[in-house]
Structure 1
Amino acid sequence: MAISIAILDCDLLLHGRGQKTLDRFDLDSVSDHFLLSQFGFPRHFILYLVELLREALCRRTQRSRAISPEVQVLAALGFYTSGSFQTSMGDTIGISQASMSRCVSNVTKALVEKAPQFITFNRDPASRDQNFQEFQRVAGFPGVLGVLDCVQVTIKAPNSEDFSFVNKKGFHSVGCQLLCNARGLLLSAETWPGGLKDTEILERSALFKQLQDIEDGWLLGDCRYPLKKWLMTPVDNPETPAEFQYNLAHTTTHEIVDRTFRAIQTRFRCLDGTKGYLQVLY
């Protein structure tokens, strides 16, 4: 089955940094520039995120002096955008590294619960026709509903079933299947053990079930995927001018999903692999 990802560095759960008061950070007391430079997002978005997740973050703990939703969100954003649990980040908002880890886990789980509100493969006629038009303007490829790819994100070896997360390159990872529209916005995002092939992930995904009854349009996938009535792939060993033109239009259009993931990695440095590994929790 698909797996949910929460981001933790378990080594840091073992190391606190002393007791601090829980009235530790006042969002209104800092400048917009400080929030953007430290947490990667402007004030209005941070406040929006706090309100969106407030109920979920409050119900995740029954501690009488729980960390506020505001601090939990800032801790998570600080980690997502820096990829680090360094002491300086915890000091900024006045919590220990162990608390940072718990906050990141709580916020991540709450975001996963909310994701279907924002990441949706909408197949109504109006959305379909808009996708057709926007994709055709990219490179002239007609009938495109979305561009599909699967990328590997390195993780620490899980405590159980670690063999299923070992990918073909020999390291532990999760396979992230992404579907984007012409503007690079996510229409679908699912995570699976990295030991599965891209085709296996697709066939087990919720997206696959949605695609079986498509009558108009198709997705674009690279050569790792099989050709299907709803999935167009490049022509192997093109020979005719038409085949070369088809492959060029396919490649140019499919690059959108690659650019999307690179943009996500750039914004969320926790995914770029240089700041350590992600930990998968169930």
Structure 2
Amino acid sequence: MSDSVLLLRRVRERSGEAAAAAASGGASSSPGPAPRRKRGRRRRFYPEHRVYRARSSFLDLSEEQVLRRYRLDKAAIAGLCRELGADLESLTGRSHALPVAVKVTSALTFLASGSFQTATRDSTGISQSAMSNCLAQFLEALQRRAARYIAFPAPGRPAPPAGTGAFPGVLGLLGSMHVALRAPSENEVAFRNARNFHSMNMQVVCDAAGAITNVVAKFPGSCPNAAVLENSALARLLEGARPEGAWLLGDRSYPLKTWLMTPILFPCGAAEERYNALHHQALAALRQTRALLKRRFRCLDAAGGCLQYAPQKVCQIFLACCVLHNIALRRRMPLEPPEGPEPDPEPELPLQAPHVQISSEARAVRARIVQQLEFTVQMSCESCAEAVREALRGAPGVRLLELRLEAQTVLVEAELAAERVRELLEASGRRAVLKGMGGAEDGEYKPGWGAPNWAGGEGGGQTGPGVPTCVPVASLGAAVAALSGPGGVRGLVRFLQVSPQRCLVDGAIDGLQPGPHGLHVHEFGDLSRSCDSCGDHFNPDGECHGGPEDEHRHAGDLGNVWADADGRAAFRMEDSRLKVWDIIGRSVVVDAGEDDLGRGSHPLSRVTGNSGPRLACGVVARAAGLFQNPKRVCSCDGLTLWDERDRAAAGPPPAPAPHL
């Protein structure tokens, strides 16, 4: 038999055997897909002798190298290792676990350099995955302890004192800081800020020394600063309780509040210019703090690239940097000049809510801060100046702003009547004369330039494009009336327009009988027949007589002033109906009896308040504003300022001081 025939037979036999085996197996099982082959777990094989990277220790470096690399000194790093050790220590010693010091220094290296973890791991001697784990553990551990290092002053603490020439009553400096991050995969538009890059809007409060006292790190970059503040626990805290005469300072991106002082957008006059200058000077500490954060921790500087993390982790990074900043500040660690370009300063944002309605109470608080009194005090040497400082030191409602010995001037902020402040100054043994008063928003506007933009929000609603809303020309914001009468009653009444809705009335009248006396502005400034020719109460709206708080009243109804046992009535009040520019040339009259404010049964109750005969009167004349009265010698009679002081209308002339 040939070889080809034998080969064919063998192939047929094997085919038959395979078919029979398939038939016998198919009878006992239903048809279906072939079972998958089980994949066994791969087993990782390690060499008999494992080789680990060499890990560097901060203890092997010099103090200068440690400061440059980690932004903290050796003692501070050792303290962090002890404090965070419970959270960073591995539970077991298997797999050659990383020591706490390596985890801390690895995280500090990343925060200080701002480099990617891949580049940072080369300087720390650990893998990229280990570097990521170290950073996450460090941030979580530091976040749990943030309250130990970042704490806002307690509400019950008294207002901090202000030095000479400093902004008074500052609790903290409020601002924002944008930290760049990569575009999130969800809701990307919400993180794009006004400068057109993705960021987190971090709210920061610091004190004058640069220590951070409050941080809000959870809002996206498109969220306005005002909205971040409104939704923060800090706003709720200050709305509820705060020290009297204390507030935060914020830039123009925040709305004015009773506890948050912002710049005056359109200052008019020297007082408001000084307010803005002091405000800007005080906020310099906040600007320096933000710049120092970026210099100390380069990961926060957008110039080096954005953070490649989710928003939540970016907030953790920022909070950790703030904690470390405070630690470095407490230890007074010097900051080595960083490598690379200087960080970009935070730009001043425009007003983000131009039509926000500002409460009248908030305006009143700012107006009291702006309210200033300028006195000339007879000082000849440094001991005189120190005596004046001592007389004002600790006086409630009075704060010394500036004392210039060579010019013999004293500038104060006061919530007291000007006469009371003068008495305090003269308690030092030096004669004092009020030269000028200044208040918020007290400017004159020229006809045709548009009315002052006081209604509504700060800066909205101009009357024309490019038209100034308040022109600081010769101000009609202050006026004075010198009262005198046949019965020996004499006094001075001053008016200061601190806002369009608020006129401050300040004065002192001597020679009165003890008790209440009606005080009114009358329609005429005619003194030809003494006070009888002054006309009726100033009443441009045709209303009935009433009290200062009544809705329906004469515009000139100022209520009552109270004379003490010595016959002196010193008063300071605010009125919402009077306008200084409406009463120039009219008169002020003080009456013999009490004004019943239109609530009595006498027929004159709704006409004059039945306050009796007129005792003294004076014409309302324009007065000097702040820094507008350089007079030393009177041009009409040649008397010096001190001669005029000694024959002042209000009060008897004081006895000469022993040293004068």
Q: TM-score, normalised by structure 2?
A: 0.37
2:67 maps to which residue? 36
Q: Which moved more, 1:172-181 or 1:83-92?
A: 83-92
C-alpha contact (below 8 Å) 1:85/1:100 kept by paired residues: no
Structure 1 match to 2:154:
123
Q: 1:199 to 1:64 in 2, by over 3 A?
A: farther
Higher helix share: 1
Q: Which residue of 1 aligns with 2:102?
A: 71
Structure 2: 5+ residue runs without aligned partners?
1-49, 314-660
Q: Report 1 or 2 for greater relative contact order, CA contacts < 8 Å, sequence distance ≥ 6.
A: 1
2:55 matches 1:24:
yes
- Using the TM superposition, give the Cα deviation of residue 194 of structure 1 relative to its aligned residue in structure 2, in angstroms: 1.1
Q: Which residue of 1 aligns with 2:170?
A: 144
SS in 1 for 2:139: helix
**Structure 2: distance between partners of 1:114 and 1:23:** 31
Q: 1:219 aligns with which of 248, 253, 264?
A: 248
Which residue in 2 is equivalent to 1:229?
Answer: 258
1-structure distance, mates of 2:87, 2:51: 24
1:125 Cα deviation (Å)?
4.4
Instruction: Return closer, same or farther for 1:185/1:89 CA change in 2, 3 Å cut-off.
Output: same
Runs of 4+ in 1 over 6 A off after TM superposition: none
1:277 maps to what in 2? 306
Instruction: Tell me: CA distance 1:138–1:110, structure 2 relative to 1, closer, same or farther (3 Å).
Output: farther
SS at match of 1:274: helix
CA deviations 1:177-210 (Å, max 9, x no partner) are 0101111111101112112100010011121121
Determine whether 1:46 maps to 2:72: no
In the alignment, which residue of structure 1 is the partner of 2:206? 180
CA shift, 1:33, in A, is 3.5
- Which protein has the bigger strand share? 2
Equivalent residue for 1:83, pick from 99, 114, 124? 114
Question: Is the Cα–Cα contact under 8 Å of residues 81 and 268 in structure 1 kept in the other structure?
Answer: yes
Q: Tell me the residue number matched to 2:226.
A: 199
Q: Deviation per CA, 1:121-142: give whole Å up to 9, x if none.
A: 122545x44xx22xx2384211
- AA of the residue aligned to 1:208: A
Quote the sequence identity (%). Answer: 34
Give, in angstroms, the shift of residue 20 of structure 1: 6.4
Aligned to 1:210: 237
User: Judging changes above 3 Å, is the alpha-carbon distance between structure 1 residues 176 and 30 closer, same or farther for their aligned structure 2 residues?
Assistant: same
Counterpart pick for 1:267 among 296, 299, 304 = 296
Cα distance in 2, alignment partners of residues 95 and 81 from structure 1: 17
Which secondary structure does the structure 1 equivalent of 2:174 belong to?
A: strand
Verify the 8 A CA contact 1:139 1:253 in the aligned structure 2: no
Partners of 1:83 and 1:167 in 2: CA distance: 22
Contact 1:85–1:97 (8 Å) recurs in 2: no
Provide the C-alpha distance between the structure 2 equivalents of 1:40 and 1:220, rounded to a whole number of angstroms.
29
Do the aligned residues in 1 keep the contact of 2:155 with 2:243 (CA within 8 Å)? no
Alpha-carbon distance in 2 for matches of 1:94, 1:202: 43
Instruction: Please tell me whether the aligned partners of residues 138 and 253 of structure 1 are also in contact (alpha carbons under 8 angstroms).
Output: no
For residue 110 of structure 1, what is the aligned residue in structure 2? 141
* Unmatched segments (≥5 aa) in structure 1: 1-18
Q: Which 10-residue stretch deviates more, 72-81 or 213-222?
A: 213-222
- Structure 2 SS opposite 1:111: helix
Query: Structure 2 CA distance, aligned partners of 1:267 and 1:139?
Result: 31
* Corresponding residue SS for 2:255: coil
Question: What is the one-letter code of the residue matched to 1:209?
Answer: R
Aligned 1:160-179 pairs, distance under 5 A: 160-179=186-205
CA RMSD of aligned residues (A): 2.4
1:209-228 residue CA offsets vs partner (Å, 9 max, x unmatched): 21112252110011111111
Distance 1:172 1:79 in 2: 21
Deviations 1:37-70 (A, max 9, x none): 32222110111111121122237x8794332221
Q: Are the aligned partners of 1:119 and 1:186 in contact in 2 as well (CA < 8 Å)?
A: yes
**Any idea what the Cα deviations from partners look like across 1:66-110, whole Å, max 9, x if unmatched?**
322211111111111111136564233211233223222221222
Q: Out of 77-86 and 181-190, give the one that drifted further.
A: 77-86
Tell me the secondary structure at the aligned position of residue 137 of structure 1.
coil
Q: 1:69 to 1:237 in 2, by over 3 A?
A: same
SS at match of 1:21: coil
Q: CA deviation at 1:34?
A: 3.3
* Conserved 8 A contact 2:111-2:297: yes
Equivalent residue pairs, number: 258
**2-side partners of 1:171 and 1:238: how far apart?**
33
Alpha carbons 1:221, 1:232 under 8 Å: kept: yes
Partner Cα separation in structure 1 for residue 164 and residue 148 of structure 2: 27
- The whole-number CA distance in structure 1 between the counterparts of 2:304 and 2:141 is 23
CA distance change for structure 1 residues 88 and 225 in 2, over 3 Å: closer, same or farther? closer
Whichever of the two has the greater Rg, that structure is 2
AA in 2 matched with 1:90: R
Q: Equivalent residue for 1:10?
A: none
